């Protein structure tokens, strides 16, 4: 949505920001050299006309800091962020003051990426007044590991946190080896929202309390198959990202449901392989033995390849069916497992130019 209110300037002015877009003259000495390469390269007209390099860079920079529908300027902003250049700080501060939340989030993440401690400022996160925008920004910051323990503790003190935001922060603490608030998780595990209850139950299970997860599994059985599939896929992805190793019994039990969607089966296989490759291989074999279509072999073969050298080399023979692509995938898997000719096998797979 483009109707977010502008963020107030006063707090940032106290941090040295004037509340206005830095003048272009300020960028000339500090920014133009690194920006020229990335901005010129990303311009759709690059190479077609002779243009003054500085003018071209200014034109592209102006496009980057204005909201454009369908995230059309995201590639430019991402290119700028990937420079991780501290001299871009004024630009990122200006983005935080922009009119659209997508630009604000890019500014927040950009500042976090050049921060000496590698963390975002929780104040910038709090200024996102659209709940969905703040949630997405928080998820991205966690994924990019731009939230440290100090920042998480500060955010957990906010009185307007959504339950899903609190769960995300507790999961990040758990991933970093810090025990979350178990009493608060107990309350969240009783939530009427399935996602909240499921994630809280998984976190409690990681901390030695299996009862909430047992109760949640009973709750899962009462859902429609479609809803159950969607929920399990989401829980599996979060568990894999956070390394919830105690969840394997729960996921193995649910994976036995043959009515689950292919997407859910793929998510369950991926998390189980990440925790226990042996159990994962058994599940993989069960899936491809029930369905040896080309699509299934390719999709689940790629998941198996993602487990790298933890899979016995002989396992990959089971995906062979004479197809050139599947043969190349099996050869690549065996090479990674055996540690021999890995580069050659992967190059051969890549040379097929198949859109996997």
Quote the pLDDT of residue 356: 56
The neighbour count for residue 42, using CB atoms within 10 Å, is 17
Over residues 203-232, the pLDDT tens digits come to 999 999 999 999 999 999 999 999 999 999
Higher pLDDT, 43 or 125: 125
- Is the model's pLDDT at 21 over the cut of 60? no
Measured distance CA(33)–CA(30) in Å, rounded: 8
Q: How confident is the model at residue 126 (pLDDT cuts 50, 70, 90)?
A: very high
Q: What percent of the chain has pLDDT over 70?
A: 79
Quote the pLDDT of residue 99: 81
Q: How confident is the model at residue 307 (pLDDT cuts 50, 70, 90)?
A: confident
- Is the model's pLDDT at 311 over the cut of 70? yes
Quote the pLDDT of residue 350: 82
Quote the pLDDT of residue 39: 45
Distance of CA 240 to the CA centre of its chain: 12
DSSP letters spanning 128-189: --SHHHHHHHHHHHHHTT---HHHHHHHHT-TT--HHHHHHHHHHHHHTT----HHHHHHHT
- Quick check: helix, strand or coil at residue 40? helix
Q: What is the mean pLDDT of residues 241-263?
A: 95
- Is the model's pLDDT at 201 over the cut of 90? yes
Quote the pLDDT of residue 160: 94
Poorest-confidence range of 4-13, 188-197, 201-210, 235-244? 4-13
Q: What is the mean pLDDT of residues 7-21?
A: 30
* Residue 351: partners with Cβ closer than 8 Å, 6 or more residues away: none
Q: How confident is the model at residue 340 (pLDDT cuts 50, 70, 90)?
A: confident
Q: What is the mean pLDDT of residues 271-300?
A: 96
Q: How confident is the model at residue 266 (pLDDT cuts 50, 70, 90)?
A: very high
Q: What is the mean pLDDT of residues 40-48?
A: 49
Residues 171, 172, 178: CA angle, nearest 5 degrees: 90
Number of alpha carbons in the 13 Å side-chain half-sphere of residue 154? 13
Q: What is the mean pLDDT of residues 99-120?
A: 93
> Does residue 178 contact residue 150 with C-beta atoms inside 8 Å?
no
Closest CA to 75 of 84, 86, 63: 63
Closest CA to 119 of 176, 178, 61, 71: 176
Over residues 77-86, the pLDDT tens digits come to 888 899 999 9
Number of alpha carbons in the 13 Å side-chain half-sphere of residue 217? 16
- Is the model's pLDDT at 20 over the cut of 80? no
Measured distance CA(7)–CA(173) in Å, rounded: 29
Higher pLDDT, 34 or 171: 171
Q: How confident is the model at residue 5 (pLDDT cuts 50, 70, 90)?
A: very low
> Does residue 119 contact residue 112 with C-beta atoms inside 8 Å?
yes
* Residue 235: partners with Cβ closer than 8 Å, 6 or more residues away: 195, 198, 199, 202
pTM above 0.85, yes or no: no
């Amino acid at each position: 949505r483009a109707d977010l209110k502008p963020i107030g300037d006063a707090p940032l002015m106290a941090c040295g920001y004037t509340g206005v877009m830095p003048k272009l003259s300020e960028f000339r000495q500090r920014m133009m050299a690194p920006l020229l390469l990335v901005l010129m390269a990303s311009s759709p007209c690059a190479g077609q006309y002779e243009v003054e390099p500085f003018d071209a860079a200014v034109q592209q920079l102006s496009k980057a800091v204005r909201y454009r529908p369908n995230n059309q300027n995201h590639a430019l902003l991402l290119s700028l962020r990937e420079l991780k250049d501290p001299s871009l700080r004024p630009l990122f501060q200006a983005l935080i003051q922009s009119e659209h939340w997508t630009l604000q989030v890019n500014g927040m993440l950009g500042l976090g990426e050049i921060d000496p401690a590698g963390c975002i400022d929780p104040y910038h996160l709090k200024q996102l007044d659209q709940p969905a925008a703040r949630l997405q920004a928080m998820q991205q910051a966690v994924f990019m590991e731009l939230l440290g323990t100090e920042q998480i503790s500060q955010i957990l003190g906010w009185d307007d946190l959504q339950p899903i935001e609190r769960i995300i922060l507790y999961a990040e603490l758990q991933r970093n080896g810090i025990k979350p608030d178990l009493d608060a998780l107990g309350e969240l595990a009783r939530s009427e929202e399935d996602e909240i209850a499921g994630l809280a139950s998984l976190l409690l299970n990681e901390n030695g309390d299996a009862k909430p997860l047992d109760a949640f599994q009973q709750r899962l059985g009462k859902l429609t198959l479609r809803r159950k599939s969607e929920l399990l896929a989401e829980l599996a992805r979060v568990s894999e990202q956070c390394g919830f190793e105690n969840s394997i019994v729960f996921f193995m039990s649910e994976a036995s449901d043959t009515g689950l969607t292919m997407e859910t089966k793929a998510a369950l296989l991926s998390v189980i392989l990440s925790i226990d490759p042996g159990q994962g291989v058994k599940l993989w074999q069960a899936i491809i033995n029930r369905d040896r279509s080309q699509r299934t072999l390719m999709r689940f073969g790629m998941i198996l390849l993602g487990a790298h050298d933890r899979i016995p080399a002989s396992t990959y023979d089971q995906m062979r069916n004479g197809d050139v692509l599947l043969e190349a995938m099996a050869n690549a898997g065996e090479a990674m497992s055996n540690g021999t000719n890995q580069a050659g096998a992967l190059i051969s797979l890549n040379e097929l130019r198949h859109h996997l």
